[in-house]
Amino acid sequence: MRVLVLDTIHGGTILAEALLRNGDDVDALDVYRGVGLTPEEAASQKYDLITAPVHLDPDYPLLNTTTDVISHHEMTRRLAGPLPDTVIEVTGAKGKTTTSFALASLFTAKGILHTSRGTFICPDGKLLWKKSITPASVLLAVEGAKTHNGEWIVAEVSAGVTGIGTLGILTSADDYRVAAGKKSALAAKLESLSKCKTVLVPKGVPAKPGWYIVDDLVSVEGTTMSWNGGSFENPLLALAGYREPLKCAAAAALILGADPAKLAGFTAIEGRMQYYLEDGVPFLDNANSGTTKETTLDAAAYLRTLIPDKEIILVIGEEHKAVCEGFRDEAVKETISEIAPLHTITVSKTDSLNFAQAKSQAFSYAKEHNAGVLLAVKTWR
């Protein structure tokens, strides 16, 4: 089969390589940077199939063709080889990484955890590699499970799921526009979830018959998670950034026949409301790919309960272009105004100051003024 793969920088290269191994004749086009094969050269060729990411402008010339076009998610589903018995795919506007880590903590057998923070062998937590969470990267997680005899996979996937999963999870009902503003990200995610055997979605999502609703299975009161037949306590449940992911993980556990009570021992992960001291300086690390005004305000309120006698040094902004939904300048300004920190260090995509440098500056300033530091930069880590 002759296949054209559009967008090499968001997983297209992985798909092209997999198709070549499959014996297909493949061309790959970098639609964003304009290097290599040109659209004009591709348009002069005849293809049996085209695959494109869901975030590509639907009016992109090569999509207006009589050739069949499928998404990268669908192509990944077609290319995925033999799978472990349990495969869980997690998508959503926020909470994906935390939900994925929480789910992985429920398993005692060896498996693969694939997230924006890295791909790990669990339960020992050994890092295998760091890749993006584009759908094509799921193929690497599948290969990792095969190589390391993993009995399960938990995979965080952007903009929807591939549909290979035993269970597909949507962590958030939040929506935003993609594909040059012409598509709903939520609609794309829901469409992809329809390919899964079993689906779990949050309250407020127009669920299909047979889909599970998180709030129908579990509930939270304060720091207590409850379900029909049990409950557990975890102080992280007081934080919105952990409450919803832990609800998703607990509900998924019930669907899978696992015990949600194991989540009582789940602790904060780096970049997700993680509190620590660095040479006596208090840090609350909430710098991750899902950082927003809402999560930053929650983090500031949480930090103030931990250090009520100290001022806050705020490190805020957006570091990388690869973030799908940005931390917009206006939202950053509003967040700074509402928190009213002692000092603010901003990071932007256009500044030379990166996240690590901003953190170092904040540490020095906090040390000098006996303050704490809140890290709230939208970034891939």
Q: What is the pLDDT of residue 325?
A: 59
pLDDT at 323: 43
Same-fold call for 2-71 versus 274-378? no
pLDDT tens digit sequence for 224-234: 999 999 999 99
Q: What is the pLDDT of residue 343?
A: 98
The CATH superfamily label for domain 80-265 reads: Mur-like, catalytic domain (3.40.1190.10)
H helices of the chain, in order, are: 13-21, 39-43, 72-79, 96-104, 137-147, 185-193, 214-217, 240-256, 293-306, 329-339, 355-369
Contact between 166 and 87 under an 8 Å Cβ cutoff? The reply is: yes
How many whole angstroms separate alpha carbon 316 and alpha carbon 309?
22
Q: Measure the N-to-C terminal CA separation of the chain; round to a whole number of Å.
A: 37
- What is the DSSP-derived secondary structure letter of residue 8? I
Q: What is the pLDDT of residues 249-306, one digit of tens each?
A: 999 999 999 999 999 999 999 888 999 999 999 999 999 888 889 999 999 999 999 9
Does residue 276 contact residue 292 with C-beta atoms inside 8 Å?
A: no
Pick the CATH number of 2-71 from 3.40.50.1470, 3.30.70.1290, 3.40.50.720, 3.50.50.60: 3.40.50.720
Kindly report, residue by residue over 64-91, the tens digit of the pLDDT. Answer: 889 999 999 999 999 998 999 999 999 9
pLDDT at 59 over 90: yes
CA gap 330, 270 in Å, rounded: 26
- CA–CA separation, 361 vs 375, rounded Å? 12
Give the model confidence (pLDDT) of 315-357 as tens digits. 999 986 544 556 888 999 999 999 999 999 999 877 788 999 9
pTM: 0.86
Give pLDDT, residue 290: 80
Mean confidence (pLDDT) of the chain: 94
Please, are residues 274 and 265 in contact by the beta-carbon 8 Å criterion? no
**CA 37/CA 64 separation, integer angstroms:** 18
- pLDDT at position 288: 87
Return d(Cα 241, Cα 238) in angstroms, integer: 9
Q: Where are the domains of the chain?
A: 2-71, 80-265, 274-378
Which of these, 273, 276, 303, 306, lies nearest to 291 by C-alpha position? 273
User: What per-residue confidence (pLDDT) applies to 322?
Assistant: 44
Residue 96's pLDDT band (boundaries 50, 70, 90)? very high
274-378 has which fold? Protein-Tyrosine Phosphatase; Chain A (3.90.190)
User: Has residue 378 got a pLDDT over 60?
Assistant: yes
